[in-house]
Structure 1
Amino acid sequence: MTGTVHHRYATVQGRQLFYREAGPADAPVLVLLHGFPTSSFMFRTLLPELAGRYRVIAPDHLGFGYSDAPPADEFDYTFDALTDLTAGLLRELGVSRYAIYVQDYGAPIGWRLALADPSAITAIITQNGNGYDAGFVPDFWQTVWDYQREQTPETEAGIRAALTLEMVKWQYVTGVADESVVSPDTWHQDFALLSRPGNDAVQLALFRDYATNPPLYPALHEYLRRTRPPVLAVWGKNDEIFGPDGARAFADDVPDAEIHLLDGGHFLLESAGAEVAELIRDFLGRHGSA
């Protein structure tokens, strides 16, 4: 079942946040949290697929998509700050209980939301959204770790490669058996927004702050063991950023976690969107309200 997607703005802490919304206002809520280097655009086909049963909300993080992007010397870009803005948006929209779909950067934001208010989270869907050391693919992450450890011209040059059109495209097509199913709109739109004046400094700040995320993992694992939320890990098994061991690891703390390793890469929705949507509908349908 499909539904109309609305494109809206809300002011949170004096910042304009853009979000996409679909589905009945009184339906169970599913919040979609995007990753780097994209925006809620990554959910453009998923929202109408889920809107028949759920109120689906997909914000653009500050500095991404159509949300405000204040310069890095005017706003302290951290995952804590992005989480606070997301929580503020949900309050503004009257949302107090919700399921989360997390991918890439959306995962540490989702984990912070869950740790701050465990009773708010009704279910977790993680699509290449990492929560375990086992998920990191060292060949990709070593450049990030080097930059986090020491900011030098050499380490910054290495990390800036992630902001190039070539590397943005790489994230979309790597691990996809048939690259022709991935629209060039994806990487060209992302690159255009990354290339806005000053946005490079925003992204560098978040690469540095990503170092704060793995230290949260023990608290995340304890939360998962204690509360046992329904967990669906649906993963592009050929992802060279967050590997499939990151999906399997959720079963260490939630033994009945549902784990699906699909043929695809980091942005699985681009090549297996219909399959992911069906898994989500089945998962949420069996676990009551979203």
Structure 2
Amino acid sequence: MHLPGYPFESRWFTHDALRLHYLDEGDGAPVLMLHGNPSWSYLWRRLVLALRGEHRCIAPDHLGMGLSDKPAAGRHPFTLAARVDDLDALTGHLITERAAPENGWTLVMHDWGGPIGMAWAARHPGRVSRLVVLNTAAFPDPHGPRVRPALRLPLWLLRETRLGERLFLRHHAFARLATLPPFGLRDRLPPDVRAAFLAPDDGREHRLAVQRFVHDIPLGPGDPSWPLLVRAGETVAAFADRPVLIGWGLRDPVFDPLMLREWRRRLPHAQVHAFPGAGHYVLEDAHDSLVPAITAFLRR
């Protein structure tokens, strides 16, 4: 598997008889990087390279994604609560078995990494000392309970129809579109980089987690993950007195400027870097500015 810009040693943690893949690079205060859907730890390659000389960079692949095991339906719940449990097990292992510190963690979150990370932080409020927020949400949609018109048809198609299942599992359309402009990026990725983003999901049976992440989006109180999302949102306010950096691509069609405004309302002292030309994958479109900004933020 050709993975340009990803010269890292793979590490593995077995939880519930499933192997979870993660990066553990460098020494120093831990920086925990949580990807979303459809992505994996490859997303963090530039940030890990920039930080590992001064920090301990930990970047897991959620089960079913990246280089982690790809459990079949029924073998893993693929829910927000299960993701938080997986993360809790991994970080507990790192603390008890691999000499990671109990406290002083920086939490870096993108996409689904936001609700996963903040729900995990709610269990350990003293563990996280800083936040880096990148095009994500960890609270109910500030647009209100009705699905936005631009998202209504795609979500219905992907969540409720047999065509949606074929698009996910047979054609891998969700991940393919997410790595193309204008859906996930402003600029076209180099072919080998786009191939690396897609490489781990190389068969129908390896794409289930991408589909289930979309099925699990908590749109309202009737969705199973809604209560945990609400609790994660309540946790955000507890970090208002801690250093926070927000990096935001303003061309994101889902995590739009109103989402950014909600983060700023909840974390009014955050340092904000907004990129008018960047899309959802802000670390791809704006890495030349964003990676140095995060590096400087962590040095302070």
Q: What's the TM-score bracket when you normalise by the shorter of the two chains?
A: 0.7 to 0.9
Q: Could you give the per-residue CA deviations for residues 102-146 of structure 1, whole angstroms, max 9, x where no partner exists?
A: 111211210211111111111111111112413798355324653
Q: Could you give the per-residue CA deviations for residues 74-109 of structure 1, whole angstroms, max 9, x where no partner exists?
A: 222112112111111111112433111111121121
The equivalent position to 1:198 in structure 2, one of 195, 201, 205, is: 205
Does residue 94 of structure 2 align to residue 87 of structure 1?
Answer: no
State the match for 1:258 in structure 2.
Answer: 271
State the match for 2:232 in structure 1.
Answer: 220
Q: Could you give the per-residue CA deviations for residues 158-193 of structure 1, whole angstroms, max 9, x where no partner exists?
A: 4654564554343233354442xx222344344443
State the match for 1:126 in structure 2.
Answer: 133
1:87 alignment partner AA: D
Q: Higher mean Cα deviation, 201-210 or 111-120?
A: 201-210
State the match for 1:38 in structure 2.
Answer: 39
The number of equivalent residue pairs is: 276
State the match for 2:58 in structure 1.
Answer: 57
| 1:206-285 aligned within 5 A | 206-211=213-218, 212-213=224-225, 215-228=227-240, 229-262=242-275, 263-285=277-299
Structure 1 residue 245: Cα displacement: 1.9
User: Secondary structure in 1 aligned to 2:142?
Assistant: helix
Work out the CA distance in 2 between the residues paired with 1:147 and 1:79. 21
- Structure 2 spans left out of the alignment, 5+ residues: 1-5, 219-223
- Check conservation: 1:31, 1:57, Cα contact below 8 A: yes
Pick closer, same or farther for the CA change 1:115–1:237 going to 2, 3 Å: same
- Check conservation: 1:140, 1:241, Cα contact below 8 A: no
Work out the CA distance in 1 between the residues paired with 2:192 and 2:290. 21
- Check conservation: 1:128, 1:234, Cα contact below 8 A: yes
1:141 alignment partner AA: L
Pick closer, same or farther for the CA change 1:143–1:105 going to 2, 3 Å: farther
Pick closer, same or farther for the CA change 1:4–1:246 going to 2, 3 Å: same
Work out the CA distance in 1 between the residues paired with 2:297 and 2:263. 16
| 1:100-139 aligned within 5 A | 100-132=107-139, 133-134=141-142, 138=148
User: Secondary structure in 2 aligned to 1:232?
Assistant: strand
- Check conservation: 1:165, 1:188, Cα contact below 8 A: no
| TM-score normalized with structure 1 length | 0.83
| TM-score normalized with structure 2 length | 0.81
1:209 alignment partner AA: D
2:26 alignment partner AA: G
Structure with greater helix share of residues: 1
- Check conservation: 2:118, 2:233, Cα contact below 8 A: no
Structure 1 residue 73: Cα displacement: 2.1
Q: Could you give the per-residue CA deviations for residues 220-278 of structure 1, whole angstroms, max 9, x where no partner exists?
A: 34323234232211011111121122122112122101222112111111222231111
Work out the CA distance in 2 between the residues paired with 1:128 and 1:196. 28
Work out the CA distance in 2 between the residues paired with 1:199 and 1:4. 23
1:240 alignment partner AA: P
State the match for 2:152 in structure 1.
Answer: 142
Work out the CA distance in 2 between the residues paired with 1:118 and 1:37. 28
The equivalent position to 2:13 in structure 1, one of 2, 10, 13, is: 10
Work out the CA distance in 1 between the residues paired with 2:258 and 2:282. 16
User: Secondary structure in 2 aligned to 1:202?
Assistant: helix
Work out the CA distance in 1 between the residues paired with 2:290 and 2:243. 16
- Check conservation: 1:143, 1:159, Cα contact below 8 A: no
Kindly report the root-mean-square deviation, in angstroms, between the aligned alpha carbons of the 2 structures: 2.7
